[in-house]
């Protein structure tokens, strides 16, 4: 797929939630297109400024592009960094020719859990890759975050998706890698290269991943909440302490957050969502695997 006489403008819609790298993905594509001599127009909406808010970016490229906004139902590619976001935007995809690419990774926003008591059901998209992939002209869904974590850095998940997308656009691998290297930290260039090539290879034998429509929080009978705090990243801003509805968190003498009342934690993820420094992560772990003193780990 490329901008040509029969396909004058190519439309790519990148979607996800705050903190995932939607803007990085769209910048890589925009620069790559510019370098190939295309006119590029890009528009972004950052949604809520904090982590967890919806973020999307329109990239349109071709010989001449008049508007930065993709008309409804005319996205040639929808690339989603989060599963529910892919569902939210799927109607933007061209139903005849569009390519759907999504991470199956689920980020359940804290306010999706409307009942704050422990282990209540969250409201989240029930569609599975099987439900969706048969209904689009071309589609790929994979656990990019899981693969990236196995490669050594879960933040390289976006580059795996770029690798998948590269198979439907007419740009060379070297050009892709050259541009990606400009947008990732120097020490992670190698892992991003691996991630990109993984995405390209995966397409050759792409399968539909098994995924049920549940989210972890709904299987909660056997799961419990484990808070991972990374002291090196915590700057003691106090936001999570003040916003935790259950008053679980405190700052210690070094102004680092600690989980002082872990038994009160309902797993609502508000702290994870609000921390500007990614210093808190909530894990749902089987009850019998919970670490007795897992609240703090060194970065
Ligand atoms: S964990 Fe995050 S939100 Fe909480 S005090 Fe530290 S930096 Fe602030
Ligand atoms: S510690 Fe975090 S996840 Fe637990 S109740 Fe407080 S805000 Fe929610």
**Is 36 a domain residue?**
yes
Ligand 2 pocket, Cβ-based, cut-off 6 angstroms: 227, 244, 246, 248-249, 265-271, 282
Look at residue 211 and tell me if it is in a domain: no
pTM, whole model, 2 decimals? 0.70
Query: Do residues 107 and 249 both lie within one domain?
Result: no
User: Which residues constitute the domain of residue 142?
Assistant: 9-204
pLDDT more than 90, % of the chain: 52
Shared domain for 243 and 164, answered yes or no, is: no
Q: CA dist 280 to 158, 267, 288, Å? A: 21, 12, 22
Whether 1 maps to a domain, the answer reads no
Number of domains in the chain: 2
195 and 230 belong to one structural domain: no
The last residue of a domain, from among 178, 204, 230: 204
Ligand 1 midpoint to CA 155 (Å): 20
Any domain includes 295: no
The residue whose CA has the least distance to atom 5 of ligand 2 is 265
How far is residue 227's CA from residue 5's CA, in Å, rounded to a whole number? 54
CATH code for position 264: 3.30.70.20
The pLDDT, as a whole number, for residue 58 is 95
**Residue 285 CA, ligand 2 centroid: distance in Å:** 15
**Whether 182 and 234 share a structural domain:** no
Contact by Cβ (8 Å): 55, 17: yes
The answer on 199 and 94 residing in a single domain is yes
| Residue 143: count of CB within 10 angstroms of its CB | 18
294: in domain: no
**Same structural domain for residues 111 and 245?**
no
Q: What is the pLDDT of residue 132?
A: 85
Look at residues 189, 190, 205, 193 and name the one whose alpha carbon lies nearest to residue 162. Answer: 193
Q: What per-residue confidence (pLDDT) applies to 193?
A: 97
Report whether residue 170 contacts ligand 1, using a CB cutoff of 6 Å: no
Q: Per residue in 135-174, pLDDT tens?
A: 889 999 999 988 998 998 888 999 999 999 999 999 999 9
Clarify whether residues 29 and 129 are in a common domain: yes
Residues 179 and 224 occupy one common structural domain: no
pLDDT, one tens digit per residue, over 111-120 is 555 555 555 5
User: Does 41 share its domain with 129?
Assistant: yes
Which one is predicted more confidently, 133 or 114? 133
């Amino acid at each position: 797929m490329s901008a040509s006489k029969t396909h004058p403008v190519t439309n790519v819609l990148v979607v996800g939630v705050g903190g995932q790298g939607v803007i990085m993905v769209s910048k890589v594509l925009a620069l790559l297109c510019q370098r190939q001599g295309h006119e590029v127009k890009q528009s972004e909406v950052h949604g809520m400024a904090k982590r967890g808010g919806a973020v999307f970016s329109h990239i349109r490229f071709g010989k001449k592009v008049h508007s930065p906004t993709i008309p409804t139902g005319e996205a040639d590619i929808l690339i989603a960094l989060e599963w529910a976001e892919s569902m939210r935007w799927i109607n933007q995809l061209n139903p005849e020719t569009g390519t759907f690419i999504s991470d199956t990774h689920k980020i359940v926003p804290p306010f999706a859990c409307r009942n704050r008591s422990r282990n209540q059901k969250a409201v989240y998209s029930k569609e599975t890759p099987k439900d969706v992939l048969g209904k689009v002209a071309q589609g790929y869904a994979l656990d990019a975050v899981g693969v990236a974590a196995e490669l050594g850095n879960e933040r390289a998940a976006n580059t795996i998706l770029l690798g998948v997308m590269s198979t439907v656009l007419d740009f060379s691998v070297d050009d892709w890698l050259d541009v990606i290297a400009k947008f990732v930290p120097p020490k992670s260039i190698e892992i991003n290269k691996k991630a990109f090539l993984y995405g390209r290879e995966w397409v050759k034998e792409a399968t539909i991943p098994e995924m049920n429509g549940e989210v972890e929080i709904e299987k909660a009978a056997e799961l419990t909440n484990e808070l991972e705090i990374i002291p090196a990243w915590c700057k003691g801003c106090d936001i999570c302490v003040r916003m935790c509805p259950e008053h679980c968190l405190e700052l210690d003498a070094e102004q680092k957050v600690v989980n002082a009342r872990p038994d009160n934690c309902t797993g609502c993820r508000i702290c994870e969502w609000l921390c500007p420094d990614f210093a808190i992560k909530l894990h749902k772990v089987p009850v019998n695997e919970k670490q007795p003193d897992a609240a703090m780990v060194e970065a």
